[in-house]
Amino acid sequence: MKWNLKFRKWHRDFSYFYAGLLMAFSISGIALNHRQSWDPRDYTYETITLQIDLPADEDAIDDVFFETWLKQNNIDLEFRGSGWRRGGHNLYFKDAYAFIDPKTGKGELEMFNIRPVLGQMVDLHKSNDSLWLWYSDLFAISVLIICLTGLIITKGKFGFKQRGWKLALVGVLIPSIMWFFI
């Protein structure tokens, strides 16, 4: 009985301590699951149509070419580089992005802002900062403790031995089956 009380306290205290982070990760996780449909981090607030006369020599199309073109056309954004992706030229800026069709030179420049609150949650969810990684690892260990103590603190007909193992088994089987088909 003494261990059961300790497990209840651990379960309760870790749950209280990490409730905010659990909710933030849950919300941003749902948003990231649907990132093919919309961008959970950023939203576009202005789109500008571009028409660039691209040189016939593809080797001449580089960052210097795009920087010169941007200056000549009074587009004053912090240019961070260009790349070839998805069959076109991508231009990267601080808080903006452009896609240029290499055949026509037509493109769109989208300026965006970070979504308030949700954008910061997504950044936390995807962060690789070393201090944050350590905190996230402690969080993951704590979630394991919350799960394990949650499995054993309930006794009787609703406990793990009677009913809980069946639900836990189904909870393990569903992702296992999905992993096999994905």
| pLDDT higher than threshold 90 for residue 110 | yes
Higher pLDDT, 87 or 31: 31
- Could you give the residue ranges of the DSSP H alpha helices within the chain? 2-33, 63-72, 118-126, 130-152, 165-181
Q: Structural domain of residue 89, as residue ranges? A: 42-114
Mean pLDDT of the chain: 90
- Report the distance separating Cα 125 and Cα 134, nearest Å: 13
Q: Tell whether 134 and 101 lie within a shared domain.
A: no
Q: Which two tokens stand for residue 87?
A: 């069959």
| Structural domain count, the chain | 2
- 127 and 96, same domain (yes or no): no
Question: Do 48 and 30 share a structural domain?
Answer: no
Instruction: Name which of 78, 73, 74, 104 is nearest 91 in CA terms.
Output: 78
Average pLDDT over residues 123-142: 90
**CA dist 150 → 3, 26, 75, 154, 167 (Å):** 13, 19, 57, 7, 13
Q: What does the pLDDT look like over 1-22, one tens digit per residue? A: 588 888 889 999 999 999 999 9
Residue 84 and residue 122 in one domain: no
pLDDT at 1: 59
Residues 59 and 105 in one domain: yes
Q: Are residues 107 and 125 in the same domain?
A: no
